[in-house]
Amino acid sequence: MNTIKTLNKLPLLIVLICIQAVYASAFPEHEDIPHEFIEGLKLGDVPFAEGNYVWNEPEMELTAGINQIFAATYTCPSGKYSPVTGNITVNVLKKAAFAFPIHQAIEVTYSPNLTLADLTLNADYVWDLSSTLLLAGVNQTFKATYTCPSGKYMPVTGNIRVNVKKTTDVTSIH
C-alpha cells in the first residue's frame, strides 16, 4: 500500500520537475548601457555589463542618442529556465568634444541696439547669448557653440573675437 501511494505521487513529481524546467523566469533588470558612437556601430558591438544576454538584432546599425531601447534575450546560467526576452536601454554617446575650431574675428561698425544676433557667424556656429548688446571696442570675446555637421561629435563652446568700430558719422550743429 505504501508503494502505491509513492507511485501515485511520482507522476506529479515528474510533472512538477518538467514545469520548472520550462518555466520562464522574469527578465532580469539590467543597467542602461553607455557606448561611444562610431561610424558603422552595430548593436552587436555593444557589450553587456554581465553575461548571459544576447541582442535580438545584433546587425542593427545604431545612431547617436540616449534612451534607445533594444530587445535582448537572457538565458539563465543554471539551465533551469527557458530564455526570456526583454528590453535594455542603450545610450549611444557622441565622441568627446574636440578643440573649438577657430572662427575669424568679426568686424562691425557700432550702431545703437547692436547685438550678437545681428552678427553673421559661419555655418554650424551659434552665439550662446545672442541678445548681448555690443559696445564699441576691439578684441572683445563672446561665447559661441560649434556643432560639427557630421553629427559625430558633441557640440563644443569657445570664444569668438568681435571688433566693434566707432561710427564715423559726424553731425554738425549750426
pLDDT, one tens digit per residue, over 67-77 is 999 999 999 88
Task: Let me know if 132 is exposed, middle or buried by CB neighbors in 10 A (0-12, 13-18, 19+).
Answer: middle
Tell me if 95 sits within 8 A of 150, measured CB to CB: no
Entry pTM:
0.52
Q: How far apart are CA 71 and CA 87, in angstroms?
A: 5
Average pLDDT over residues 149-173: 82
**Where are the chain's structural domains?**
24-93, 106-165
96 has a pLDDT exceeding 90: no
How does pLDDT run across 6-15, given as a tens digit for each residue? 445 544 333 3
More confident residue, 102 or 10: 102
pLDDT at residue 20 in the model: 42
Cell numbers at 125, concatenated: 556656429
Tracing cell 512538477 back to the chain, one arrives at 16
Q: Is the pLDDT of residue 17 over 70?
A: no
